[in-house]
Structure 1
Amino acid sequence: MKFIHLSDLHIGKRVNEISMIEDQAYILTQIIRIIDGERPDAVVIAGDVYDKSIPPAEAVTLFDDFLCRLAKRSLPVLIISGNHDSPERLAFGGRLMAGSGIHLAPVYDGIVEPVTLSDSHGDVRFWLLPFIKPVHVKHCFPDAGIESCTDALRTAVEHMGVDFTGRNVLVTHQFVTGAATCESEEISVGGSDNVDISVFDGFDYVALGHLHGPQNVGSSRVRYCGTPLKYSFSEAGHYKSVTVVELGEKNDLRLRTVPLTPRHDLREITGTFAELTDKAFYSTAGTEDYLHIILTDEEDVAEAVGRLRVIYPNLMKLSYDNTRTRTDQVVGSAENVKSKSPLELFEELYALQNNQPMSGEQRAFTQELIESIQEGNV
């Protein structure tokens, strides 16, 4: 059984206020070409199809076109919703589309039915488990004693009734403890989103979405395929690819990647203004790429952005690295900010402003508001 593992398309995303829709159309066409060359038995998309829960019309049109191109190839496509998607909107028409081989995970209600595909070794069951939070699972199983994301995922998996003597693939969208993150992802840094890898014991392959860097977690059996495009400058060093998964008999797993080449790369370049505007440099520097330019001049350069965009039209971000900025970073640093969740940071601000801690009711309301903002519902 050969299948293509994709995730985190984030169709409709804007990076530094620049629309990526043309770049996404370009890379999806490239993925179609890879699929035609690989001739897989299925395509898996592990969540975050869209960048917003209410995606713009052009994003919906692009994904519709992608699905139609896949359906014309009589290729089963298995899709779950991620934390950026609206599960209700993404699942719309799912029962109708299943007849065309497009399998959309329904809104989680405690019941997960597998999509079964077969090859010369027998059946492979694909379990489509969309992005879920403890509250979703508690609603379905109120007596399960769920306190964490690990508890929630373990409960959801236990109630799926998986026969682990056969071959099983789990498609899900979560943050597995120990995986490497980058700044373009919405992660609760305090650790409340973490799922322990032991939840996935028994599965022959776990096709993960959520994290943007391609990586195995613990073993090749549990993998993030990563985004098809770079969506932040923290990803500038990533090599984007398509993951090709091949399942033989039970316990026979092989993985490989096929590289993706973007329409415009996303890179960082560093130097003085004089160096970066020297024709000898920029004539070979890839001036059409999406760029974060870091100037090392000790004094700010007047109208630097406008002058640099004459040479680098896709300049996204300009910053300085000099004595002043390095001093500012030391003076203004908050050592513990990155180790705290948004709720913890808000609690500190509230206490500072009001000289008293938040009440339990205020904490619950604030957490609900934070989650709604993160999911694009506000």
Structure 2
Amino acid sequence: MRLFHLSDLHIGKRVNEFSMIEDQKYILERILDLAEKEMPDGVILAGDIYDKQIPSAEAVQVFDEFITKLAERKFPVFVISGNHDSAERLAFGGRLLNSRGIYLSPVYDGTVMKIPIADQYGTVWIHLLPFIRPAAVRRVFEDESDLITDVQSAVRAVISHMEIDPNERNILVAHQFVTGASRCESEDIQVGGLDNIDASVFEAFDYTALGHIHSPQNVGKGMVRYCGTPLKYSFSETDQEKTITVVEMEEKGMLKIRLLPLKPFRDMRKLRGTYMELTARSFYRDMNCEDYIQVTLTDEDDVPDGLQKLRVIYPNIMQLLYDNQRTRASSQIDAVQDVEEKTELELFREFYELQNNQPMMKQQEEFAEKLIREIKE
């Protein structure tokens, strides 16, 4: 049994106001190419198919084309919803698509959809658990609501009610945060670790195919794995190699993991140096200047219109930063004074500008100010 494990496509995502849709179309075509070469028995998509609960028409078309091409090639596809998806929207038409080998996890109602796949060693059961929150589980299991206090107890309750044959091979597809996993800047984080789950929750499964964390990694003692995103979505991921996780199962207890590298249309990289160094032809001659770039200038004086000038050479600069004596001194002062001397709106305004390389519009400031006031009340 050979399966592709993918997650966190985030179709329709924008990074620093740059649309990633063309890059996503490209990488999905590369995944199709690798599927034709490897001929997997199925493709797992472990949540966050879209970047928004109400995806754009273009994002829906991109995903529709991807799963249609997989279905045309007779590759079964196993899809769950993530925290960025609308479970109801993603599940639409699921019962019709089952006949084409496209299995979409329904909205959780107390049962977890499971699909059998047979090979020479018997049956592999693939269990599709969409992203869940404690409130949804408490509604289903009212008699146990007092015991369901956090995400871990919610997932544990869900698994305890699942039909799992320990004599068969079982794969769980889920979208949660397992304690100990390494995060990236592009992920959603709940304050205080409220979304944490211990890997021991999944010990009933031969393999747990996880989504939610963008860095590929194993967690816990058993075969619990995040495959990571197929593309880089933040500059904290520049040193990562994005891959497809290939899961190969033989008889029960025999499982291997392989990685297939994914080369993007545009990479994400960091450049650092003075303005003169970065604009010297010898510096960028052998570089793909179309990549998405974060530039850190080390000039002591700001370069007038530096971003626009640099974009003549590097058109896809996402961020322009300065690192010099002035900015380092400012950072040290701000670190001490921020909390005591700046208002919540000022701090939010600075955060927005850092993330988007542009100031907030008046309408956005008014909305943020109203929201802060309501929270404080």
Bin for the TM-score computed over the shorter chain: 0.7 to 0.9
Q: Which amino acid aligns with 2:172?
A: L
The answer to whether residue 88 in structure 2 is matched with residue 88 in structure 1 is: yes
Alignment partners' CA distance in 1, 2:102 and 2:231 = 23
Q: In the TM superposition, what is the alpha-carbon distance from 1:74 to its structure 2 partner?
A: 1.2
Show structure 1 runs of 5+ residues with no match. 338-344, 347-364, 367-378
Contact 1:113 1:160 in 2 (8 A): no
Specify the alignment match of 1:77 in structure 2: 77
Alignment partners' CA distance in 2, 1:4 and 1:297 = 47
Q: In the TM superposition, what is the alpha-carbon distance from 1:166 to its structure 2 partner?
A: 1.3
Specify the alignment match of 2:138 in structure 1: 138
Alignment partners' CA distance in 1, 2:201 and 2:324 = 47
TM-score normalised by the chain length of structure 1: 0.88
1:168-191 CA distance string (max 9 Å, x none):
000000000000001100011410
Q: Which range moved further: 307-316 or 277-286?
A: 277-286
Q: In the TM superposition, what is the alpha-carbon distance from 1:238 to its structure 2 partner?
A: 1.0
Aligned partner of 1:328 among 327, 330, 342: 330
Q: In the TM superposition, what is the alpha-carbon distance from 1:219 to its structure 2 partner?
A: 4.1
Contact 1:124 1:167 in 2 (8 A): yes
Contact 2:7 2:228 in 1 (8 A): yes
Contact 2:11 2:63 in 1 (8 A): yes
Contact 2:105 2:113 in 1 (8 A): no
Q: Which range moved further: 135-144 or 120-129?
A: 135-144
Specify the alignment match of 2:200 in structure 1: 198
Q: Which amino acid aligns with 1:211?
A: I
| 3-state SS, counterpart of residue 190 of structure 1 | helix
Aligned partner of 2:211 among 203, 209, 212: 209
Q: Which amino acid aligns with 1:321?
A: D
Give the alignment's Cα RMSD to 1 decimal. Answer: 2.0
Q: Which amino acid aligns with 1:84?
A: H
Alignment partners' CA distance in 2, 1:330 and 1:165 = 59
Specify the alignment match of 2:273 in structure 1: 271
Q: In the TM superposition, what is the alpha-carbon distance from 1:325 to its structure 2 partner?
A: 1.6
1:99-122 CA distance string (max 9 Å, x none):
000000000111113111110000
Q: In the TM superposition, what is the alpha-carbon distance from 1:328 to its structure 2 partner?
A: 2.2
1:78-227 aligned at under 5 Å gives the runs 78-144=78-144, 145-219=147-221, 221-227=223-229
Q: In the TM superposition, what is the alpha-carbon distance from 1:161 to its structure 2 partner?
A: 2.4
Specify the alignment match of 2:47 in structure 1: 47
Q: Which range moved further: 232-241 or 96-105?
A: 232-241
Percent identity of the aligned residues? 56
Q: Which amino acid aligns with 1:49?
A: I
Q: In the TM superposition, what is the alpha-carbon distance from 1:148 to its structure 2 partner?
A: 1.1
Contact 1:8 1:209 in 2 (8 A): yes
Q: Which amino acid aligns with 1:7?
A: S
Q: In the TM superposition, what is the alpha-carbon distance from 1:218 to its structure 2 partner?
A: 2.0
Show structure 2 runs of 5+ residues with no match. 340-346, 349-373
Alignment partners' CA distance in 2, 1:180 and 1:321 = 27
Alignment partners' CA distance in 1, 2:317 and 2:114 = 46
Contact 1:220 1:255 in 2 (8 A): no
Q: In the TM superposition, what is the alpha-carbon distance from 1:334 to its structure 2 partner?
A: 7.3
Q: Which amino acid aligns with 1:231?
A: Y
Q: Which amino acid aligns with 1:184?
A: S
Contact 2:200 2:220 in 1 (8 A): no
Specify the alignment match of 1:236 in structure 2: 238
Q: In the TM superposition, what is the alpha-carbon distance from 1:335 to its structure 2 partner?
A: 12
| 3-state SS, counterpart of residue 332 of structure 1 | helix
Specify the alignment match of 1:370 in structure 2: none
Runs of 4+ aligned structure 1 residues displaced above 4 Å come to 334-337
Specify the alignment match of 1:25 in structure 2: 25
Q: Which amino acid aligns with 1:31?
A: I
User: Which is richer in helix?
Assistant: 2
Specify the alignment match of 1:352 in structure 2: none
Contact 1:87 1:106 in 2 (8 A): yes
| 3-state SS, counterpart of residue 114 of structure 1 | strand
1:233-263 CA distance string (max 9 Å, x none):
1111111000100011111010010000000
Alignment partners' CA distance in 2, 1:330 and 1:239 = 34
Specify the alignment match of 2:352 in structure 1: none
Alignment partners' CA distance in 2, 1:77 and 1:292 = 36
1:195-235 CA distance string (max 9 Å, x none):
11110012100000000000010246100000000011111
Contact 2:50 2:84 in 1 (8 A): yes
